[in-house]
Structure 1
Amino acid sequence: MLEHRGHQLWTYEEPLRFLGFEIGRIMTVIRLSSGGLFVQSPAELTPALRSALDDLGEVRFVAPASKLHGHLYMEQYREAYPRAELLAAPGLEVRRSDLTFDQLLGDTPDPRWAPDIDQVAILGNRWLTEIAFFHRPSGTVILGDVGYPIGADSPLKTRLMARIAGVYQRVRPTLDYRLTVKNEATLRRSIRDLLAWDFDRVIPGHGEIVETGGKQAVIDGFDWILDPSVSGWR
C-alpha cells in the first residue's frame, strides 16, 4: 500500500488515465519530526489507505502541487481528519471554492514543517504556479507536473505520447507547459533555487520515481531553460 523509502518518507502509487493515456499518479507521505504526517498530492482515501496512514501517525497537513495537481480528494481528508490543515497552491482557492483552506503556499515553509521540508514556488508559466518540496532527511525533491518522467515500463501508447511531449525518461514538464512560459528569467531562477537543494531522489506527480541521480536529471530535463554559461550547473 505505502512504500517506505527511508528517512520517514513513503509513497503511494496508483493508476491514472489522462486523455486516454495511462500516466500513473504518486502521493508522498512524510512523517514530520513532530510526529504528524504531511501528505502531498493526496490520493483517494480508501479504507485501506486510511488504515495505512493511521498506522504511521496523524495526518496534519494536506498539500497539492498546484491548482491542477493533487487536490481532487482533499475534502475526504478534511472529513476524516478534522485537525488536518488543507494547504492551497496559488489559484487553488479559486478553483476549489467549495473548500476552506488554512494556508496559501509560497516560497517559505511553515515553521511547523520547516525543520523537515523546504519549498519553492516554480514561477514563470502563464497559467500555472507549482510548489516543489524538498525533504531534507531523505534528500528528496517532490514535484507535481513540472517533472513528468514517463519510463520504459509504461504502455506503448503512453511512451509514444511522452516522446512527442519531450518527457520520455526526462524530468521535465510537457510541451504545453514549455510553450506557455511567459517569463523565462523567472522560471530559470525558480529552477536554480530548486537545484540549490542537496537532493538525489526525485518523486514526480506522474511517471517513474528517480531514485538516484535526480539532480542531474533535473538539470538535463530543464536544459531548455538553464543557460549553462550562467547557471553553473554544467
Structure 2
Amino acid sequence: MLNQWSERLWTYEEPLRFLGFEIGRIMTVIRLSSGGLFIQSPSELTAELKSALDALGEVRFVAPASKLHGHLYMEQYEAAYPTAELLAAPGLDVRRPDLQFDQLLGDTPDPRWAPDIDQVAILGNRWISEIAYFHRPSRTVILGDVGYHIGDGSPLKTRIMAHVAGVYKQVGPPLDFRLTIANNTSFRRSLQDVLAWDFDRVIPGHGDIIESGGKQAVLDGFEWML
C-alpha cells in the first residue's frame, strides 16, 4: 500500500479522473526526525491507509500543494487525528471555510519540520500559488500540479493528452497552467529557488516518480521558462 523510498519517506498512489482522463494522484508521507508524520497531499483515508499510517507514527501535519491540489480529504484527517494540524496553501483557507487551518504556508518552513523539510512558494500564476517541498534527508523534491510527469504506465488516452499538454515523460505543468502564468519573473525566481536545493528524486503530483536524475529532469522540463 505504501511504497518506501528511503528510511523516512513513503508514497501512496490513488486513482484520479480529471476531465475524463485518468491521471492518478500521489500522497507523500514523511516521518520527521522528531518522530511525527508530515502528510503532503492527503489521499482518501480508508481503513487500510489509516492502519498503515498508524503503524508509521503519529500524524502531526497535513499539508496540500495548493488550493486545488491535496485538500479534498483533509476533513477526514481532521476527524481521525484531532491533534494533527491542518496547513493551508495560499487561497485554501478561503476555498475551504469549512476547515479550521492552523497555519498558512509560504516560503518559510515551520521550525518543527524545518530540520527535515524545506519549502518554496511557486508564484507567478494568475490563479494558483503552489508549495513545493524538499525532503532534505532523502534529497527528494515533492510537487503538485506544477509537476506532472506522465509516463508509459498511464492509459493511452492519458498519454495522448500528456503529449498535447507537454507533460509526457517530462516534468512540468500542463498547458493550461502555463497559459495562466501572469508574472514570468516571479515564476522563474521560484523555479530557481527549487533548483537551488540539492535533490535527486522528484515526486510529482501526477504520474511517475523520478527516482534519480531529478534535477536534470526539472531543468529539461522547465527549459521553456528558464
SS at match of 2:219: helix
1:126 & 1:219 partners in 2: Cα distance? Answer: 23
* Alpha-carbon distance in 2 for matches of 1:34, 1:159: 41
Matched, 1:140 2:140: yes
Percentage of identical aligned residues: 79
* Counterpart mapping for 1:95-134 below 5 A: 95-134=95-134
Task: Tell me the alpha carbon deviations over residues 150-198 of structure 1, each in whole angstroms, 9 at most, x when there is no partner.
Answer: 0011111000000000000110100011111111011000000000000
SS of residue in 2 equivalent to 1:28: strand
CA separation in 2, counterparts of 1:191 and 1:182? 15
Structure 1: which amino acid aligns with 2:102? D
> Could you tell me which residue of structure 1 aligns to residue 29 of structure 2?
29
Q: How many residues get paired? A: 226
Equivalent positions of 1:1-234 (< 5 A) are 1-226=1-226
Segments of structure 1 that go 5 or more residues without pairing to the other structure are: 227-234
* Separation of aligned partners in 2, 1:213 and 1:21: 28
- Secondary structure of the residue aligned to 2:33 is coil
Kindly state the Cα deviation for residue 7 of structure 1 after the two structures are TM-superposed. 2.8
Q: Over aligned residues, Cα RMSD in angstroms? A: 0.5
2 CA distance for matches of 1:186 and 1:13?
A: 31
Shift of 1:112: 0.1
Question: What is the one-letter code of the residue matched to 1:27?
Answer: M
Tell me the SS of whatever aligns to 1:192.
Answer: helix
**TM-score between both structures, scaled by the size of structure 2:** 0.99
Secondary structure of 1:137's counterpart equals helix
Please give the alpha-carbon distance, in whole angstroms, between the structure 2 residues aligned to 1:202 and 1:84.
26
Tell me, what secondary structure is at the counterpart of 1:38?
Answer: strand
Report deviation, 1:59.
0.2
Q: Which moved more, 1:69-78 or 1:6-15?
A: 6-15
**Post-superposition CA distance 1:65-100 (Å, at most 9, x none):** 000000000000010001100000000000001001
Offset of residue 48 of structure 1: 0.3
Unaligned runs of 5+ in 2: none
| In 2, Cα distance between equivalents of 1:169 and 1:219 | 13
Deviating 4+ runs (over 4 angstroms): none
Letter of the structure 1 residue corresponding to residue 64 of structure 2: P
TM-superposed CA distance for 1:16, in Å, is 1.1
Cα separation, 2, equivalents of 1:31 and 1:46: 20
The TM-score, its normalising length taken from structure 1, stands at 0.96
TM-superposed deviation, 1:14: 1.2
Structure 1 residue 15: Cα displacement = 1.2
Q: Secondary structure at the match of 1:94?
A: helix
